[in-house]
Amino acid sequence: MKFSSKVQKCGLSPMRKFHPYAVAARAAGKKIYHLNIGQPDIPTPEACFDAVRNFNYPVLEYAPSPGIPELIDAVRGYYDKIGISLTEGDVLVTTGGSEALQIVCNCILDDGDEIIIPEPFYPNYNTFVCTTGGTIRPLTTTPEEGYFYADRRRIEALINERTRAIMITNPGNPTGVVLSPEEMRMIVDVAKEHNLFLISDEVYREFVYGGEKLASMASFADAADNVVIIDSVSKRFSACGARIGVIISKNAELMAHAMKYCQARLAVATLDQVAAAALYTLPADYFTDVREEYKRRRDTVMAGLAKIPGVVCKCPKGAFYVMAKLPVDNTDSFQQWLLTDFADRGETVMFSPAESFYGTPGRGVDEIRIAYVLKEQDLSRAMELLGKGIAAYNAR
C-alpha cells in the first residue's frame, strides 16, 4: 500500500530518540531535571476544575462547530481588556492552538506555496506546513544577535510569487524574543504591502518580563484582512491538557474556509470549552503572580548560564524558554551522553537540542532550548549540572 508523499516528508518528534535513554537512566536510579518540555508546573486555576464539576446536563452533547457561545464571549471579553474589539464571527474555537495552526495552514497553503518563518521555530510548524504540500522559507537568526528577526530587508528578501504568509510566534518559542510595537508595525506593513497573511501565534502573550503592555497583531485595524491570531489556554492558564485554542481573524473569507474544517470535525470537546470559558473570565491580576514567578525563573537560568564558560545567550524578554549556544560539538550527542555517561551525585539534566528548531540544514547543532518550567532551586541545580556536564563532556 502507498502512503501520502506529504506525510512521508514529515518526521516523528526528534525528542523521541532520547526517551529510551531517559527511561534507562531513571531505571538506573538517576534523577533527571526536565528542561526539555513546555509543560508548566504552575497549578491550573481551580475555576477550571470547578466549571467541569458543576456541569450538570444529562447528555454530553456536541458543542456548536464554531465553539460554545459562553467561551466565544469570554474570549471577546479578554481581548476587549487589551483594547481589541472582536465580533462573534471573528473567533473560532479549536482543539488547542495546534488545530488552529493546522486549519489556518490548510486554508492558505497549496502544493509549492511558501510561508516565511523566523528560525529557530516551534518544530511542529514543520508538520503543519509540510502536510499541506507547502514549504517553510526560514528567516535565519543567530544566538549572537539574540535571535533578532524584525529586519524589513531580510524579510523582504525571502518574498517571492509563491509566498502566502509570514508566521511568527510573539513572544517567541523557542527564542523568547518579544517584538517592540515598532517592529510589530513594520511586519504588519510588509504583510500588507506584499498582500500576505500574517499569522501571529500569541499563546505566550502574558509572559513578558520588562513591563511591556500586552500586545497583539490584532490591534492593527488597517491590516484586519491580513492578520490571523493563534491563541490558546494551554500556557496562559497552565491548562495544556484542556486542548482549547482559537483562530481569530477579521478576514471573513478565511473564516468561512476555516469553518469548513470546523464543521467537518463537528465540534471541540464540550467540557473543556466550559472550563476554558471559566479561565478566560479570571480577573487580570491572576497573571501578576504567574508572571513574577516565571521572571524569577528566567533570571535564575540566566544567572546559571552566565557562570558557564563559552555559552552564548542574550537574556530573552518573554515566553518561558531560553535558547543558548553551548561550547560543545553537537548538543544532540551531548544530550545522549548526559543520559548515558554522566551523573553528578546521581543527577543529570535534559534540554531540547536545537537542530530540530531550524529549517536550514546544519543550523542549531551547538544550541539548546531550556524550558524554565521548574522551581527556582531545581533550575539552579539544573544549570549547575549543565555546567559540570559541559566540562566533563569536553574533557573526555
Instruction: Examine residue 229 and tell whether it contacts a copy of itself (CB under 8 A).
Output: no
Query: Of 2-10, 139-147, 181-189, 384-392, which part binds a copy of itself (CB under 8 A)?
Result: 2-10
Q: By C-beta, is 4 or 142 nearer to a copy of itself?
A: 4
Interatomic CA distance for residues 195 and 181, integer angstroms:
21
- Sign of CA pseudo-dihedral 198, 201, 205, 210: negative
Q: By C-beta, is 275 or 311 nearer to a copy of itself?
A: 275
Burial 112-151, CB ≥16 within 10 A → b, else e: ebbbbbbbbbbbebbbbbbbbbbbbbbbebebeebbbbbe
Per CB under 8 A, the list member of 31, 89, 124, 312 interacting with a copy of itself is 124
Q: By C-beta, is 344 or 376 nearer to a copy of itself?
A: 376
Burial of 271 (0-12, 13-18, 19+ CB in 10 A): middle
Q: By C-beta, is 2 or 345 nearer to a copy of itself?
A: 2
Size of interface with a copy of itself, in residues (CB under 8 A): 81
- Give the amino acid at 161: E
Instruction: Examine residue 53 and tell whether it contacts a copy of itself (CB under 8 A).
Output: yes
Instruction: Examine residue 280 and tell whether it contacts a copy of itself (CB under 8 A).
Output: no
Interatomic CA distance for residues 14 and 354, integer angstroms:
10
Q: By C-beta, is 55 or 77 nearer to a copy of itself?
A: 55
Instruction: Give the shortest CB-106-to-a copy of itself separation in angstroms.
Output: 6
C-alpha cell at 23: 527511561
Distances (CA, A) of 233 to 56, 155, 245: 23, 30, 6
Instruction: Give the shortest CB-313-to-a copy of itself separation in angstroms.
Output: 27
Interatomic CA distance for residues 251 and 248, integer angstroms:
9
Instruction: Examine residue 290 and tell whether it contacts a copy of itself (CB under 8 A).
Output: no
Instruction: Examine residue 3 and tell whether it contacts a copy of itself (CB under 8 A).
Output: yes
Let me know: does 352 contact 38? Beta carbons within 8 Å: no
Instruction: Examine residue 236 and tell whether it contacts a copy of itself (CB under 8 A).
Output: no
Instruction: Give the shortest CB-390-to-a copy of itself separation in angstroms.
Output: 29
C-alpha cell at 139: 528567516
Interatomic CA distance for residues 111 and 172, integer angstroms:
27
CA triplet 66, 69, 73: central angle to 5 degrees?
110
Interatomic CA distance for residues 289 and 205, integer angstroms:
15
Per CB under 8 A, the list member of 75, 92, 188, 239 interacting with a copy of itself is 239
Query: Of 3-11, 147-155, 179-187, 291-299, which part binds a copy of itself (CB under 8 A)?
Result: 3-11
Per CB under 8 A, the list member of 202, 272, 366, 367 interacting with a copy of itself is 272
Query: Of 33-41, 177-185, 339-347, 349-357, which part binds a copy of itself (CB under 8 A)?
Result: 33-41
**In the chain, which ranges are E strands?**
31-34, 91-95, 114-119, 135-140, 163-169, 197-201, 227-232, 244-249, 321-325, 347-350, 352-353, 367-371
Of 197-226, binders to a copy of itself (CB under 8 A) are 197, 225-226
Instruction: Give the shortest CB-19-to-a copy of itself separation in angstroms.
Output: 11
Instruction: Examine residue 257 and tell whether it contacts a copy of itself (CB under 8 A).
Output: yes
Instruction: Examine residue 174 and tell whether it contacts a copy of itself (CB under 8 A).
Output: no
Interatomic CA distance for residues 127 and 97, integer angstroms:
14
Per CB under 8 A, the list member of 21, 34, 47, 52 interacting with a copy of itself is 52
Per CB under 8 A, the list member of 260, 288, 341, 360 interacting with a copy of itself is 260
**What single-letter DSSP state applies at residue 12?**
-
Q: By C-beta, is 75 or 324 nearer to a copy of itself?
A: 75
3-class secondary structure, 378: helix
Residue that the C-alpha cell 523521541 belongs to: 16
Of 130-149, binders to a copy of itself (CB under 8 A) are 131-133
Instruction: Examine residue 27 and tell whether it contacts a copy of itself (CB under 8 A).
Output: no
Per CB under 8 A, the list member of 87, 211, 264, 377 interacting with a copy of itself is 264
Instruction: Give the shortest CB-18-to-a copy of itself separation in angstroms.
Output: 14
